[in-house]
Structure 1
C-alpha cells in the first residue's frame, strides 16, 4: 500500500517553460531594451538557460556581451531574476486539485528539487502549495542533489516511510524517474516532449491522472 507521494518541482508541478517566457518578456518590457529586438532577447535567454540547467550568472554575462547591454550590469539582471521570477510562476493544470485529492486519501506528500534554496522556496510559495508538503528538500540547502540516492533517502526518512511504500513523480528520466527507482521507489514520469521511450513504472500527461492511478490500486 502506498503511503507517500514525492514530487519534483520544475517541469512537474511548476510549468517552468511558461514561467520563463512570462518572466523574460516582462523583464524586457520593464528594462526597455529598445536597441534589442524583443524576440532576439527572449529567444537567446531561453537558449542559454537550457531549461534551468545553467544558472543565470552565466546566462546574463553572455547576454550583456552579445547584445552590448550598458543600461544595467549582468549582476543587476541576475538580481532582477532572483527578485521577480516568483511573480511569474505558472502551475501546471490541475495542480491544486491533484494535491487536495492526494491529501484526502491520507497520503503524505514530499518534494525534492534541485536548485537554489530561497529561490526555489519562493517559487513553491508563489504557487501556493507549501502547506501540502510534510517534507521539502532543496539541493542547495541539503548539499546534495538528484540523482544522488542520499537526497531521496533523506526525504523518505523525514516522511517516515519505506521506499517501497512511496512514489516519485518527475519529468526528468534520469534525475527523477530512474533515481527514484534506484532507491526502491516507484517512478512515475510526468511526460515531457523533450524525451521519449522513458522507462517508468507509469506515465502521466496531466497531474489530474495521478489520483486516478492511485485509486486504481497501484
Structure 2
C-alpha cells in the first residue's frame, strides 16, 4: 500500500545502502596484509562482528566515546581469538581501518535502481551514526552522494540515533517535517523506533527478513520500496 503525503525519504547508510559487512571484511583483509598480521580474517570476523555491534550500542547510548569504540572493538577481538598484539599495533590498525574502509564500496542489491526510481518523485536524505570523516568518502566513492540533498551524521548533530534530536536536526536541515517524511533503515532501535517516536513513517530493511513487529512495514530487498513509495 502506497504511503500518502510523503515528500522526503531518509535513509540510513551502513547496512542499508552501503554493504558494511562485506566492505569491512575486505578492509580487514587488506590492513592485516599491510601490517603482517597473520590471522585468518574469517576467524577474526566471527568474534569481531558481535563485539563491534555491542560497542556501537554503547556508543549510541553515549556510554563510550569514539576513541574507546575504535580501540576497544579491536583489542577485545584479538583477546577473544587469543592473538597477542601490542597497543601500538592496535592503534595503527584502527587508523588504517578508517583510512581504507571507503576504498571498498559494495552496495546492497538494487541500490542504484531504487535511488533512481525514488529521486524522480521524492527528495532524498541520509541520517547516519557513522563517523563524519568516513561517511562522505563512502558515499562519494560508491557514487551515490549526488542522490542526496542533505546528509546528517551524529557528529554534526551532536547526538546519535535513536535520540530524537538527530531526527529533528535532519528534518530542519531538509526543510521538511515528520508527517511528510519516511525513514528507511536496518536498526530496529536506532532507525525504526527512533524515527517512529517523533512521528515519522518507517520502513524496516532487514536482509534476514526477521519479523520483529507485524505493525512495521518491512522489506528484505531495496527494490521492494516500490510497494510503499
Q: The TM-score by the shorter chain falls in which range?
A: 0.7 to 0.9
Aligned-partner Cα distance in 1 for 2:126–2:141: 15
2:171 paired with 1:156: yes
Structure 2 residue ranges without an equivalent (≥5): 60-68
Q: Relative to 1, partners in 2 of residues 1:17 and 1:68: Cα closer, same or farther, differing over 3 Å?
A: same
What secondary structure is seen at the aligned counterpart in 2 of 1:87? coil
Q: What residue number does 1:59 align with? A: 73
Q: What residue number does 1:90 align with? A: 106
Q: For 2:90, which of 74, 89, 103 is the aligned residue?
A: 74
**How many pairs does the alignment contain?**
212
Q: What residue number does 2:49 align with? A: 46
Q: Relative to 1, partners in 2 of residues 1:11 and 1:150: Cα closer, same or farther, differing over 3 Å?
A: same
Q: Relative to 1, partners in 2 of residues 1:31 and 1:47: Cα closer, same or farther, differing over 3 Å?
A: farther
Cα deviation, 1:113-170, whole Å, max 9, x if unaligned, reads: 0021112222222221111111111101221111111111121122222211111101
Cα deviation, 1:1-45, whole Å, max 9, x if unaligned, reads: 2101001111111111212222222223333333x3444334333
Q: Relative to 1, partners in 2 of residues 1:213 and 1:164: Cα closer, same or farther, differing over 3 Å?
A: same
Aligned-partner Cα distance in 1 for 2:137–2:199: 30
1:6-25 aligned at under 5 Å gives the runs 6-25=10-29
What secondary structure is seen at the aligned counterpart in 1 of 2:18? coil
What secondary structure is seen at the aligned counterpart in 2 of 1:187? strand
Structure 1 residue ranges without an equivalent (≥5): none
Q: Relative to 1, partners in 2 of residues 1:62 and 1:95: Cα closer, same or farther, differing over 3 Å?
A: same
Is the contact between residue 132 and residue 153 of structure 2 (CA under 8 Å) also seen in structure 1?
Answer: yes
Aligned-partner Cα distance in 1 for 2:194–2:10: 13
Aligned-partner Cα distance in 2 for 1:192–1:94: 13
> TM (normalized to structure 1)?
0.86
Q: RMSD value over aligned CA atoms? A: 2.3
